[in-house]
Amino acid sequence: MKKILSNPNKRELTPGDVAQRCGVAVSTLHFYESKGLISSFRNPGNQRRYTRDVLRRVAVIKIAQRIGIPLATISDSLMQYSPGKRMTTKEWAVLSQQWRDELDRRIETLIHLRDDLDGCIGCGCLSMEDCPLRNPNDRLSEQGTGAILLDVKSV
């Protein structure tokens, strides 16, 4: 059964209030806080409290995570905006455009991988020396021997 908040418009929110309103666990809030994504303060009884702006900030974090933006990128992006202050429409537009550009790059990479994979499935070569998908023209040999982390952009 869901707990009904006694005063949904109160200025100070408990971790439980924020967790319920945002659909996350209290431990998630603590994790976000440890990463600098959100901030809280202590009331006179030394209990953790959040300002109402954290609701929007958690929503932004959840949206970004849902579309696959890494937490490090989310953190870097949110550092541009003061915690404790509501993000403006203009600020959201700038931030969402940055993430849109990141998504476009990732979509392009996935399409490239998909198209190369189609050609590779029938090949069956599994050659580490001259696989058109993993190591075209044995380009990796130029970097020396041993395991090399492949990045689509470098191949």
Q: What is the pLDDT of residue 155?
A: 43
pTM beyond 0.75, yes or no: no
Closest to 142 in 3D by CA, of 154, 151, 126:
154
Which residue ranges in the chain fall short of pLDDT 70?
A: 1-9, 118-137, 146-155
Tell me, what's the pLDDT at 152? 46
Nearest to 129 by CA among 141, 121, 120: 141
pLDDT at position 116 is 73
Per-residue pLDDT at 30: 96
- Name beta bridge partners: 42: 48
Give the chain's domains with CATH numbers. 13-128 (1.10.1660.10)
Q: Which pLDDT belongs to residue 136?
A: 67
Query: Residue 125: what pLDDT?
Result: 59
| Alpha-carbon dihedral angle through residues 37, 82, 26, 1, given to the nearest 10 degrees | -130
Spatial separation of the C-alpha atoms in residues 70 and 48, rounded to whole Å = 27
